[in-house]
Amino acid sequence: MKLLINDIGYNFKDEKLLKTALTHSSFANEHNCKSYERLEFLGDSILSFVISSSIYKNFPDLPEGELSKLRASIVCERSLEECSKKLNVGKYLILSKGEETTGGRERASILADVFEAILGAIFLDGGIEPARDFINKYLSDAVIESHSGKGVFKDYKTVLQEIVQQNEGSVEYFEVKEEGPEHNKIFTVGIKYMGSDLSYGSGRNKKEAQQNAAKEAIKKLQFNND
């Protein structure tokens, strides 16, 4: 459990909330305890609110219908399942023997539900800010890669340029270093914004390094200001 708490990035005052967030209804029914279902309900609402606020702020030209599509492409079972897999949630699930033997630890719907339940537990324990931090940590890539509202990836440099133009700003890419043997070089690039270094990225060529630097810049600009 301690490893999971470290990966979540939030220290619970009441760790029982996290235990409940990991408890499937099949186990709860057998042992007369609480399951994650109520926490999932709460987490789902918080997730929708935070993502809706973020895309409303960062995509001011999208109409309501496109905003809804964009949110749906981010807050979907597949993306939430992937977030749970990053946390290795399946290892910590509290399941009945029957659910265990039928593959509950790998079931996409359960993993997605538990991610929302963990979010609900964080909110109850610490409020909206740690809940927002948790969402930003695990779903920022999904927001960026769903930028078009259709799940179609735009290159990060283009997305970054669109964001800074909305704020009447501009970015400047600069080379930081080049290292490694000739056949296996690693390039590092930085980005300046408003006169300060905003982000850095590395890659096997300068274009890849620029894309990675732009990806990090987008995360900072979109989520640090929410």
Print the domain residue range for 204: 156-223
| Annotation marks residue 116 as catalytic | yes
Question: Closest Cα partner for 220 from 154, 144, 152?
Answer: 144
CA dihedral 102, 106, 109, 110 (to 10 degrees): 80
Report the share of the chain in percent with pLDDT over 70.
91
Q: Is 162 a catalytic residue?
A: no
From 40, 81, 113, 116, active-site residue: 116
Q: What is the pLDDT of residues 62-117, one digit of tens each?
A: 788 888 877 887 888 888 998 999 899 999 999 999 999 999 999 999 999 999 99
Average pLDDT over residues 180-184: 82
Q: What pLDDT shows up at residue 226?
A: 53
10 located within any domain: yes
pLDDT score for 151: 41
Residue range 83-94, pLDDT digits in tens: 999 899 999 999
Give the domain CATH number at 196: 3.30.160.20
pLDDT value at residue 50:
92
Q: Same domain, yes or no, for 15 and 97?
A: yes
Per annotation, catalytic residue among 40, 44, 99, 133: 44
Q: Say if 39 falls within a structural domain.
A: yes
